[in-house]
Amino acid sequence: MLTFDDAGYLLSASTPGEDRWTEAGGPNKKGGLVPGHAYSVIRVVDALGHKLINIRNPWGQFEWDGDWGDSSPLWTQEVIDIVQPVLDDKDGTFWMSFDDFIKMFTCLNVCRVRNWQENRIRGKFLRITDEQDSSSEYVTSKWYYELELQEAAEMFIGVHQEDERIQGVITRRPLIDCGICVIKVEEDGTFQLVEFEKLGRERQVELQVRLEPGKYIVFPLTTGALITNKPATLSEQPKTPLLNEEGQLTKAFSGVIDEIFRKFDLFIGRELSFTEFKILYNITGSITELTQEDFERDFLKKYCSTREGITQRGLRDYFRDSVKTLGEDAVRGWLSKLGYDEHLFNSESRGFTLTFHSVFPF
């Protein structure tokens, strides 16, 4: 926490339970802290062997009344001269020891505010059948990623799944387990494991590592076990409709199209360029070869687009029109080739975002 505070990162902490007191203005029995509440961490100080944390309640009331609170006798003149605290029991800020902090708070949030060098890339986990044993399957990242550093760097590498708040994620794209592996490519061509982040079923997994100059391979990991975790209730239901009675996209189909967009928007340009869209176009089994001229005439000028590519909204409209003009069976055929079944559940692939944040020089 001292390191984070010295670096200027933004810190906050949360108490367990449910907040029923803030708006009601009622009392609290846990040392003046509100349960289920978020607090800002203002300062982190180590003074004369005392590990102290300055905390603020954004609501401006219910302050900590235990050790090192505003009226605590532990505040000797010597400590006050070093820390220079503001001891006002009505300003919403208070101090407490680190030992009490870890007892009373269950979560610490760190926002690493810094002038980072940043890179974001789309990735995919794919279900693969072993060429030598057709009964054996595994799930692996479609790509591995190479890094070449001319100087040492502090780096954060993350694998991020879709946010649970996105339509359809909970029901059709639940979180799977993810991890990260970093391998050094030695000058003699051999490989050396540098660091790895163990598999976890979280929205994001992150690896902090210090890398010396050289070549590295970054490989996102998953067991793939949960990619087939289709809810049993879906199997008992009829086909998930693509359009509603008004001829508009259903929420489920719209969410799937958005996922398809993110999978093919490899460099996160918020548009599918000709090259990106052509990959999707070819996968769907279109007979004709798509040219740049066709792309501009039949897609960019017809659907919501930028000068360079079709937008997420444009892709939704393209799929909707295709259902109406080509028929639902044809579009379901496209979806099948993309790994989606009749309930729009995909057990063949899962998209993720790979992020790199680094500081040069180290």
What is the mean predicted confidence (pLDDT) over 6-35? Answer: 74
Q: Residues 294, 315: one domain? A: yes
What is the arithmetic mean of pLDDT over 61-70? 80
Distance between CA atoms of residues 249 and 310, nearest Å: 18
Please give the model's pTM, rounded to 2 decimal places. 0.77
CATH of the domain at 161: 2.60.120.1050
Is 81 found in the same domain as 128? no
Cα(201)–Cα(38) distance, integer angstroms: 24
Are 122 and 209 within one domain? yes
Which range (55-64, 169-178, 237-246, 259-268) has the least confidence?
A: 55-64
- Joined together, the tokens standing for residue 361 give 């020089």
Domain tally for the chain?
Answer: 3
In terms of domains, do 151 and 249 share one? no
Q: Write down the pLDDT at residue 27.
A: 47
List, as one string, the DSSP characters of 101-161. Answer: HHHH--EEEEE--S--EEEEEEEEEEEEE-TT-TT-EEEEES--EEEEESS-EEEEEEEEP
**Burial environment of residue 232 by CB neighbours within 10 A (0 to 12, 13 to 18, 19 or more):** exposed
Q: What is the pLDDT of residue 231?
A: 72
Instruction: Assign 325 to helix, strand or coil.
Output: helix
Whether 225 and 250 map to the same domain: the answer is no
Average pLDDT over residues 128-152: 90
Residue 7: count of CB within 10 angstroms of its CB: 11
Task: Look at residue 197 in the predicted model and tell me its pLDDT.
Answer: 93
| CATH code where residue 280 lies | 1.10.238.10
Per residue in 297-347, pLDDT tens? Answer: 999 999 999 999 999 999 999 999 999 999 999 999 999 999 999 999 998
Are residues 105 and 121 both part of a single domain? no
Q: What pLDDT does 158 receive?
A: 96
| DSSP-based three-state secondary structure for 83 | helix
**CATH number of the structural domain spanning residue 65:** 3.90.70.10
pLDDT of residue 253: 94
Helix (H, G, I), strand (E, B) or coil at 320: helix
- Read off the pLDDT of residues 222-242 as tens digits, 9 standing for 90 and up: 998 888 777 777 778 899 999
- Do 226 and 124 lie in one domain? The reply is yes
Residues 191, 163 within the same domain: yes
Is there a single domain that holds both residue 78 and residue 129?
no
> With left for phi above 0 and alpha for psi between -120 and 50, is residue 268 left, alpha or beta?
left
Task: For residue 124, give its domain range.
Answer: 117-230+352-359
Residue 139 sits in the same domain as residue 218: yes
The domain boundary, picked from 57, 76, 111, lies at 111
Give the number of other Cβ atoms within 10 Å of residue 94's Cβ.
Answer: 28
Q: How large a percentage of the chain has pLDDT more than 90?
A: 64
Q: pLDDT tens-digit profile of 292-311?
A: 999 999 999 999 999 999 99
Task: Answer yes or no: is pLDDT of 272 > 50.
Answer: yes
